[in-house]
Chain A
Amino acid sequence: MSEHIDLSAFTAPEIRAGIIRGDFSAREAAESAFARIEALDADVHAFNQVAPDLAFAAADRVDDMVRSGASPDELPPLAGVPVAFKDNMNLVGTRTTCSSRILENYQSVYDCTAVARMIHAGVTPIGKLNMDEFAFGSSTENSAFGPTHNPWDLERVPGGSSGGSAAAVSAGMVSMTLGSDTGGSIRQPGALCGVVAMKPTYGRVSRYGCVAFASSLDQIGPFTKTVEECSLALNAICGKDPMDATSLERPAEDFTVGLEDGVKGMRIAIVRDMLEMEGVAPEVKAATLAAAEKYAELGAEVGEVDLPAAQYGLSAYYIIGPAEASSNLARFDGIRYGHRVADAEDVLDLYMRSRAEGFGPESVRRIMLGTYALSAGYYDAYYGQAQKARTVIIRDFERAFANYDVLLTPTSPTTAFKIGEKASDPLAMYLSDVFTIPVNLAGNVGLSIPVGLGADTGLPVGVHLIGTHFSEATVLRAARAMEAAVAFDTTPPTVKALS
């Protein structure tokens, strides 16, 4: 890769500034990303596909603007920044597979709004990223195309479901990625790969063009190495979209404003009962308590709260999520798109065998669970009960946010686990989202920020900052203060050895 410039350690603003100064072109920035992918992705497998034609066309548009004398203000905010997208987001010119056999050859016929907004902000689209099939999972092992490997330790999972999105940023392949988060699918892989990962308030970002998992929980958000880049990505993707009726009209906000204002006087609470839950690794608990102490040193008013209903979040989620998923995935019937058996006897046979052949084991499990929870005789006991539990969980959060600005938990109970370690025990896998799930149920903001390496495993630990609806600016400010205080080196040693 020596004939290319290596920009893997550059932040998005540094790449844009370098293009403006003429240090390198947007095309060279794209080439740097592709060289990095070429060098590392055989081992990491973050990408399902790369899109050089789209990338160079976008990069050349930026370079043409620079050549024709555009001023820095005229260049879009993310001009020339290499970005990649989870493979459940449509982008014309790419396949959108959701890492499923059933959509293996699906060509995007329109653009996902969040993707289109990133491209409008000037980014160079590099490709599409591996994930758990239809976003069902916490390890990216449920991809029909093989697992993604954690750049910190290739024998370990990157987390999931947006594992490709986390690994690509961690390995320095692209500056930013987008993922989607239904129960922790952005934040948990962000923690396991040691990057900044954010789920905005439900409705902040349009879900149009992102293949639906659970429509009342899904939200798109960014992965980056720095909090500033996270803010810049949010600036690009937030806002009302007429194509998604649940996207919300909000006054325009620049999320980079106030980022450096610190946490003096901010009220931050450890969620004590969640931290004391069974299964939290001592190194993770220690890192979370150390983060709270750090906030106190930085001038925050640090306290404790309990969220007694949140421990039922996992149960509510594994009813509501599969119920909505079983309904959303009914569209994959072998008629309009997707895998279809060749020798169907009749239409029912076509549906039943096309779906059974096309969906992987975890998708089948979730569809079965959701169908059962919604079926006659069980609806009230499961779905109805889960929706009421959701109300109680929301009230827990409301009580906590009456006294605190930000709540603090671990992002995940453990650091990255070994590939295969939890694959045969669905329930153990589900538990890795126990801290992130209640946030989706309540529609709140959640961000994972790396705080260091675990004392026992030497792998990245993320802490989870939770804010109430529309508190992105506050959560980002708290995250920035932690980032500055801990100065975590986001580059994995294996990746460093390359340069």
Chain B
Amino acid sequence: MALSESEVRHVAMLARLALTDEQVDTLRVELNSILGHIDTIQQLDLAGVEPTSHAIPTVNSTRADEQKPCLPRELALLNAPEAEAGAFVIPQIVGGGDEA
């Protein structure tokens, strides 16, 4: 399976990465080279094999349901690029009415 330029752009959008045209070109070549190696996995006969998500499965690992101190607000905001009134500041998401 070889990735086209438009697929690279599509994946970059899914990954929320603003790539330059040059990066798109480089990544297309690099990813196809890596995928070429990865595709050897298709040689394995895996019919009827169950997938493994964790090598050491743990089931229903719960902790006691107790109230405990959590991260205080000022520490949660300590690394925020922009904070105001005890909250993270982000650009406006909901439009003023004249947008699509």
Contact = CB atoms under 8 A, between A and B. Distances in A.
Interface of A: 105-107, 109-110, 201-203, 216, 242, 245-246, 248, 309, 312, 314-316, 318-319, 326, 330, 333-340, 344-353, 355-356, 359, 364-365, 367-369, 371-372, 375, 378, 381-382, 384-392, 394, 426-427, 430, 441-444, 469
A352 B17 contact: yes
A352 B35 CA distance: 24
19 contacts: A107-B79, A110-B71, A202-B54, A202-B56, A312-B43, A315-B39, A315-B40, A336-B88, A338-B79, A344-B91, A347-B93, A349-B91, A364-B23, A365-B27, A371-B14, A385-B46, A386-B41, A388-B51, A389-B41
Nearest to B16: A351
Contacts of A319: 38, 41
Contacts, number: 173
Contact of B80 (A337, A344, A381): A337
B25 interface: no
Contacts of B71: 109-110
B51 A387 contact: yes
A388 B49 contact: yes
Contact of A443 (B7, B23, B56): B56
Contacts of B88: 335-336
Given A335-B81, A375-B11, A387-B52, 9 more contacts: A246-B56, A312-B43, A347-B91, A368-B27, A372-B11, A375-B14, A387-B51, A391-B52, A427-B37
B5 interface: no
Contact of A202 (B1, B15, B55): B55
Interface in B43-95: 43-44, 46, 49-56, 58, 61, 63-64, 71, 75-76, 78-82, 88, 90-93
Nearest to B39: A315
A347 B90 contact: yes
Contacts of A314: 37
Give the dominant DSSP class at A's interface: helix
A442 B56 CA distance: 8
Contact of A356 (B18, B43, B78): B18
Contact of A248 (B33, B58, B81, B92): B58
Interface of B: 1, 3, 7-8, 11-12, 14-19, 23, 27, 30-31, 33-35, 37-44, 46, 49-56, 58, 61, 63-64, 71, 75-76, 78-82, 88, 90-93
Contact of A109 (B23, B35, B64, B79): B79
A94 to B, nearest CB: 13
A350 B81 CA distance: 12
Nearest to A110: B71
